Amino acid sequence: MDADMTYLMDTMQRLIETPSPVGYYEKINPVIEAPAADLGYTVTYDNRATAYITVEGEDTPKLLLAYLLGA
């Protein structure tokens, strides 16, 4: 459990500390992609560079990341 909490805290710290003003996601996108890849997910982007992760088998298959992190 401690290793999982350390991973989560480290990941959140990287996400929070990475500059990501609205419309300028080039620094945050790789930070989002790394933990997603670690967990076996792929990040896709829309035409405004909003990040999405598709979770198979869920009723709501996409999680919005970029705007939440950039707020």
Q: Can you give the pTM of this predicted structure? A: 0.64
Q: Find tokens 């930070």 and name the residue.
A: 31
The three state secondary structure string of 31-43 is: HHHHHHHHCCCCE
pLDDT tens sequence across 8-64: 888 888 988 888 877 777 888 888 899 899 889 889 888 877 888 877 775 655 555
